[in-house]
Amino acid sequence: MTASRLDRRFQALRDEGRAGLVTFVCGGDPDPETFQAILGGLPEAGADVIEVGMPFSDPMADGPSIQAGNLRALAAGMTLERLLGHIARFRNGNSETPIVLMGYFNPIHKFGPERFLEAAIVAGVDGLIVVDLPPEEDAELCLPALARGLNFIRLATPTTDDKRLPKVLGNTSGFIYYVSITGITGAAAPVADMVGAAVERLRRHTDLPVAVGFGIREPEQAAGIARLADAAVVGSALVDEVARHVASGDTSGLARALHAKVEGLAQAVRRARAA
């Protein structure tokens, strides 16, 4: 099998001797046009991998920020089908930056797993993270996705012990997403020592790149993670930026402000190992 866009991106990062920045935004948040502008500018702002949330009415593993982002996107008319259209438009202008869709299973279940996989590949999606599909439920989506060459990225958590890790890593590809805290997105910040130990533990079990997320908000935190792992994931802090502009009633400067935030994070991540 040829290397996926994610494989190529992480190889390029290794060649550069630096960690990557993974940015998460809610698909369609706060409205379709602004979202498209946000998405389109992320690579230039320094995002190495882009995660796009598939909006869901009941995001059980997410904190208040991302819940609100999901609901804003849905209220503005986003659907899974439309979201794939936005990804396809992004792909027309960018063939290098990997896109990972992240969300919950029910919208995909309703869409039809097979039909969804076809549509996602046509749109230019590279990988999937489906929060509520553990390895025990791999048959329906994970295995067919892998068979079609899509990456299936799994979350590992502090509760995933050495006994369970092989099961979690079994059908994982692209990268492994280490959730640095037990909790929901946007909660407490991770402790560097524990993250370091966790990343080392993961590396004893896998050669996959390790991205670390949950609770990373500021450039210095991202730099701290970048010294330990292959990538730092920032989500809630970006979604909060959207919320702030929506609350002010003026979203005209939102995309630019969000990209500026990403630039700050990206610079910190790029400098981290040189410092």
- Please report, as ranges, the residues that interact with another protein according to CB under 8 A: 56-61, 63-64, 67, 71, 74, 79-81, 104-111, 131-134, 136-137, 139-140, 154-161, 164, 168, 179, 182-184, 187
Residue 51 among the catalytic residues: yes
To the nearest 10°, the Cα dihedral for 193, 195, 200, 206? 180
Angle at 172 between CA 93 and CA 59, to 5 degrees: 75
Report cis status (omega within 30 of 0) of the bond before 30. yes
Q: Give the separation between CA 88 and CA 102, rounded to whole angstroms.
A: 16
Cβ proximity to another protein: between 188 and 260 the closer is 188
Q: Residue 95 Cβ, how far from another protein at the closest point, in Å?
A: 29
The answer to whether 161 is a known catalytic residue is no
Q: Which residues have CB under 8 Å from 193's CB, separation 6+?
A: none
Tokens, residue 253: 């400067």
- The residue among 31 and 140 lying less far from another protein, judged by its C-beta, is 140
Specify the residue, 157 or 251, whose C-beta has the smaller distance to another protein: 157
Residue 130 sits at the vertex; the CA angle it makes with 61 and 228, to the nearest 5 degrees, is 75
Q: What is the dihedral of CA 250, 253, 259, 260, to 10 degrees?
A: -110
Query: Among the options 62, 126, 138, 240, which is catalytic?
Result: 62
Is the CB of 40 or the CB of 144 nearer to another protein? 144
Catalytic one among 51, 126, 240, 241?
Answer: 51
User: Smaller CB distance to another protein: residue 67 or 97?
Assistant: 67
Give the Cα separation of 237 and 101 in Å (integer). 18
Place of tokens 């796009």: 52
Catalytic residues: 51, 62
